[in-house]
Amino acid sequence: MPAPLRNFVLKFLSLFFLFYLPAFIKADEILLENYLTDIEIANTFEERKNGLMNRAELMPNTGMFFIWDKKKIQCMWMKNTSLELNIAFISNQGEILEIFDMIPFSVESICSSRKVKYALEVNKNWFKENSINVGDKINLSFINDQ
């Protein structure tokens, strides 16, 4: 290949990778602060016990982030909760392991299939509407700001 053509190809490929490749690569971590305008933290027994019970509404793009003292199989229920919610169980590394629909007023426990320390409750379909899925990783640095 002649040198001028080789230089052109190398420059073209460099520009392609610089400008277009990031569009094909998913971001390493999701910053919840870019999606949720308010994140309530439930990190005490009483806060986790009450969760989103007895609330008339949960404003759009808000959620409750649950933090337990240790990693274990965690279970949630919807007793006294009229809201239609989704819950994501999240690993210590921030990976979304599973997402469940929560049925208003249900006393059936919805449990993680693996040991977790975190969960996020949001309005139903929030994950779907924001293209956030099982396997995505959440940046957990916002926890340290609390």
pLDDT at residue 27 is higher than 70: no
Q: Which CATH class is domain 27-145?
A: mainly beta
Distance CA 63, CA 142 (A): 13
pLDDT band at 143 (very low <50, low <70, confident <90, very high): confident
pLDDT band at 18 (very low <50, low <70, confident <90, very high): very low
CA distances from 13 to 7, 20, 62, 78, 126 (A): 10, 10, 42, 53, 38
Q: Region 77-97: what's the mean pLDDT? A: 97
Centroid of chain to Cα 4: 49
Residue count of the chain, please give it.
146
Q: Look at residue 139 in the predicted model and tell me its pLDDT.
A: 93
The domains of the chain are located at 27-145
How many Cβ atoms are within 10 Å of 89's Cβ, its own excluded? Answer: 27
- Helix, strand, coil percentages (3-state) for the chain, rounded to 5, are 25, 30, 40
pLDDT band at 25 (very low <50, low <70, confident <90, very high): very low
| Whole-number percent of the chain with pLDDT over 90 | 75
Nearest-10 Cα torsion for 112, 117, 123, 126:
-90
Distance CA 146, CA 140 (A): 11
Q: Look at residue 16 in the predicted model and tell me its pLDDT.
A: 55
